[in-house]
Amino acid sequence: MKKTAIFFGVNSLTDEIVENYSSQLDLLYIIDNNSKYWTGGGEFFFNLRVEPPSDRIKSADYIIIVATAYRGEMEMQLRTEFDISSDKIIYLPWPNKLEDYVGKFPKILAITLGADSCINSCLMCPQHIERPHTSCWLDLDILKKAVSEMIHEDSIFVISCMSEPLLAPNLLDAIKIIREKKPKSQIMIDTCGSVYDEKVMEELFKYINKIKISLNVITAEDYRVLMGTDNFDAVVSNIWKSKSYIDTHNLDVTIIVQISKFKKLKYSEYYQFAKQFKDKGIWVHLNDIYDFNAFPKFGELSSKLKNEGFEPVLEVKQGRYPCASLFGSFNLVEDGCYYPCHYVSSHGMSHVEDKVYSLGAASQTTLNDVCEQLGSLQEMHLKDDYSCLICRDCNAWTLGIEYFRHKLTAFKG
């Protein structure tokens, strides 16, 4: 017997996808506001321009979400407003495939500027378990070499820190180096937004393209528990200060407010909170929190989060599939070494004495050599071989749905 399904977010839907799924389904409800495949009543789902067809949603055998920037919002609304279980949600991939990236020189260089004791004590951060014993900051000569070796003039540089990056002593110099070496590049900085030094921010906004501010929750009470400080109002104020300065000086800088996906967060509450930012042109991004049990040193973070009422929406799935984090970027860390993915370098594993997870010191290798090593790991994943030391026990792959694999066999029965 054929099944019924509803599609959401179909900007990237193709004739081939529709034909393939139509052969297995009795009825397709495709809901979007700008798709030629639109049928079945209702429009673009996540922004509630019209009342979603709840009877159709609840009665469908499957909910199908096409890869979209709004996947997180759609997913939350389905879960909290319509009580749709995760096993009814199937994701369609991006049009491109992981195979297209194997051995290719990534356009993204993720840079960790340093490690220091942070002003926050976030329940989902390794610094909640262990603070760095000493400060460590990325050598700027190493940064110059790495940036120069990026072959794409429109490369993307993502700046973060194992502490508050806006307090990093090498922040402005690092940003200026990147802009000088790659003037056509995109530069984004990740921050908690707890501090706002006018001189630093005004200088920063001259060079960057995006600033992502991790607010993570929508109330001061939750912020106090999750982040370990009373800075919620200060962060919100800093978001508006940044927006005001950017608009006043007509700068092309995008602000992204990040909210983390916990089961306690209801879509209706999130929607009302996020609306104040969206209405002013500020992006709001829903972020997955993953299972820290893959990292023995920090496994207790998962239980701490749950005990405090912050249970992540994301659950460790059965089976295994290739980790998308290996296919898109290089990762340069404060110790001057390259690492295969952000999830290794950002959770203390870059500080193991023998550097078993490193792809080499930037001072002694080139990004071309690193690209070859990444290619070997990528090929292993595509063969469903996860035996390498760095990937064997890691759960970071659960952060990515199978964007790049069509699995029509996902329909049961």
The verdict on residue 405 lying in a domain is: no
Residues 37 and 111 in one domain: no
pLDDT at 351 over 60: no
Residues 12 and 133 in one domain: no
pLDDT at 124 over 90: no
Model pLDDT, residue 254: 96
pTM as predicted = 0.83
Spatial separation of the C-alpha atoms in residues 214 and 220, rounded to whole Å: 14
The verdict on residue 311 lying in a domain is: yes
Spatial separation of the C-alpha atoms in residues 380 and 115, rounded to whole Å: 31
The verdict on residue 411 lying in a domain is: no
Name the nearest CA neighbour of 258 among 216, 302, 298, 219. 216
Q: Which domain holds residue 231?
A: 100-399
Residue-wise pLDDT tens digits, 284-341: 988 887 665 555 555 677 778 888 999 888 776 667 778 878 888 889 998 899 988 8
Spatial separation of the C-alpha atoms in residues 341 and 358, rounded to whole Å: 10
Residue finishing a domain among 59, 92, 125: 92
Residue finishing a domain among 92, 111, 131: 92
Residues 77 and 121 in one domain: no
In contact, 288 and 317? CB cutoff 8 Å? no
The secondary structure element, H or E, covering residue 382 is helix 367-382
Residue-wise pLDDT tens digits, 35-60: 433 333 333 333 333 345 566 667 77
The verdict on residue 364 lying in a domain is: yes
Model pLDDT, residue 293: 54
Model pLDDT, residue 357: 74
The verdict on residue 409 lying in a domain is: no
pLDDT at 219 over 60: yes
Residues 273 and 365 in one domain: yes
Q: Tokens standing for 332?
A: 């340069």
Which CATH number belongs to the domain containing residue 176 in this structure? Answer: 3.20.20.70
State the total domains in the chain: 2
Average pLDDT in the 54-78 region? 68
43-52, 121-130, 163-172: the lowest-pLDDT one: 43-52
